[in-house]
């Protein structure tokens, strides 16, 4: 290995006591490939095993914690104990290749397709429809339902523990329910869950508290709890960097193992809410809380030099998403001094070799600009 890449391969101890063999994380990515009943499919196991050899940590695609939260077809479930055997197979498949396994847990809120949720009824913080054309307006959750969803996140965590996962990631990003409750654009409530910034933070923070309570009660070995968030929204009333810096300050007080900043570009600049200067979103977040909780960055990191440049910013954990779909041997090639052989585009002839499930493959081919695809 070229010595300059050694910083990517330093071990990293998380607060829980879980130790990662390097700083590279497989980012959570939707693959649409679970069984119709929400159980883990064989093709999922093959997909994750193919990508678990080199990275220190694998964060799975999101699992729904409750039936009203299923965000898309082909998503796997953590909403009942019947799911534990399949989840156990998944955790074991990842761990058998040397990586730690973290289950991402979420609720899709208003982003859920009506045909994926009971009675076709979508729910959210308030009756604000998603931006997608023709998307239905969700029903506002009642106070009792919010409390039930908080408990459901805890129950999904218990199932992850019983299935043998090394941790869970709470998905508060990408416009899903926890973000909908934090955002003034989608949260127009006037009760204890809405209005002020502190009230809008109450639901995500309550989920963190519940998950940690369940971990304390059920985990017999060190168990990771991370939180993923999107730092800004484009809408006028949407989340600003100023809002996010308040949220991450509160999250940093929760003794989490990491904060995962969901970005399409690691080096993207803030839209609004902070002074205009040369700092990136990740710079602002790292400066705010990096001395209290490890920050994980992601977004458009393709080459070994991209990853090195990213970790040199001071962010200690680097998540790789689309690149690990295109190049499952990304880590191994760097270790073997073959970083020049890393592929940064897909060939239409390589689906089988890359072990990409059919539905994910079709989504890639039918979404121009998502991946670089060569004939």
Residue 56 lies in a domain: yes
How many domains does one find in the chain? 1
> Could you tell me which of 68, 100, 73 has the C-alpha nearest to residue 169?
100
pTM (global) more than 0.75: yes
The packing angle between helices 281-289 and 241-252, to 10°, is: 30
Question: Which residues sit opposite 261 in a β-bridge?
Answer: 229
Residue 339 lies in a domain: yes
Residue 375 lies in a domain: no
Residue 356 lies in a domain: no
pLDDT, position 160: 98
Residue 100 lies in a domain: yes
SS3 state at 5: helix
pLDDT, position 260: 98
Which parts of the chain sit beneath pLDDT 50? none
Residue 238 lies in a domain: yes
Residue 110 lies in a domain: yes
> Phi, psi at residue 78, to the nearest 5°?
-130, 30
pLDDT tens sequence across 63-122: 999 999 999 999 999 999 999 999 999 999 999 999 999 999 999 999 999 999 999 999
Give the span between the Cα atoms of 320 and 25, in whole angstroms.
Answer: 6
Q: Read out DSSP for 100-111?
A: EEEEEEE--GGG
pLDDT, position 369: 86
Give the pair of three-digit tokens for residue 165. Answer: 């996962």
User: Parallel, antiparallel, or unpaired: how do β-strands 12-13 and 19-20 relate?
Assistant: antiparallel
- Residue range of the domain that includes 55: 3-345
Residue 246 lies in a domain: yes
pLDDT, position 241: 97
- 209 contacts: CB under 8 Å, gap ≥ 6: 254
If you ran DSSP here, which 8-state letter would residue 273 be given?
S
pLDDT, position 132: 84
112 class by beta-carbon count within 10 Å (0-12 exposed, 13-18 middle, 19+ buried): buried
CATH of the domain at 299: 3.20.20.70
**Which residues are catalytically annotated?**
176
pLDDT, position 117: 96
pLDDT, position 6: 97
105 class by beta-carbon count within 10 Å (0-12 exposed, 13-18 middle, 19+ buried): buried
């Amino acid at each position: 290995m070229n010595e300059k890449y050694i910083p990517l391969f330093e071990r990293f101890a998380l607060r829980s006591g879980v130790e990662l063999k390097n700083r590279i994380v497989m980012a959570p990515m939707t693959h649409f490939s679970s069984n119709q009943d929400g159980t883990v499919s064989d093709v999922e196991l093959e997909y994750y095993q193919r990508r678990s050899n080199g990275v220190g940590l694998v964060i799975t695609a999101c699992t729904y914690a409750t039936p009203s939260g299923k965000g898309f077809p082909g998503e796997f479930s953590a909403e009942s104990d019947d799911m534990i055997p399949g989840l156990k197979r998944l955790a074991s498949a990842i761990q058998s290749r040397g990586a730690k396994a973290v289950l991402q847990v979420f609720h899709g809120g208003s982003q859920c397709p009506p045909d994926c949720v009971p009675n076709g009824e979508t729910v959210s913080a308030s009756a604000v429809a998603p931006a997608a054309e023709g998307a239905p307006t969700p029903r506002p959750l009642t106070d009792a339902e919010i409390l039930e969803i908080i408990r459901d996140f805890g129950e999904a965590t218990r199932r992850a523990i019983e299935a043998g996962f090394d941790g869970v990631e709470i998905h508060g990003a990408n416009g899903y329910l926890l973000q909908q409750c934090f955002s003034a654009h989608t949260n127009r409530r006037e009760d204890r869950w809405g209005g002020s910034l502190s009230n809008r933070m109450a639901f995500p923070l309550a989920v963190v508290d519940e998950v940690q309570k369940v971990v304390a009660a059920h985990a017999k070995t060190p168990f990771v709890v991370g939180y993923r968030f999107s730092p800004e929204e484009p809408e006028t009333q949407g989340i600003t960097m100023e809002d996010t810096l308040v949220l991450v300050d509160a999250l940093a007080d929760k003794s989490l193992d990491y904060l995962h900043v969901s970005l399409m570009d690691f080096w993207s600049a803030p839209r609004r809410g902070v002074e205009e200067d040369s700092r990136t979103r990740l710079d602002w977040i790292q400066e705010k809380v990096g001395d209290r909780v490890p920050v994980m960055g992601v977004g458009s990191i393709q080459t070994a030099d991209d990853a090195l440049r990213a970790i040199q910013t001071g962010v200690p954990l680097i998540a790789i998403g689309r690149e690990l779909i295109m190049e499952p041997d990304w880590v191994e090639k760097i270790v073997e001094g073959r970083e020049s052989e890393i592929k940064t585009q897909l060939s239409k002839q390589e689906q089988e070799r890359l072990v990409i499930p059919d539905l994910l493959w079709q989504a890639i081919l039918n979404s121009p600009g998502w991946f670089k695809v060569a004939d």
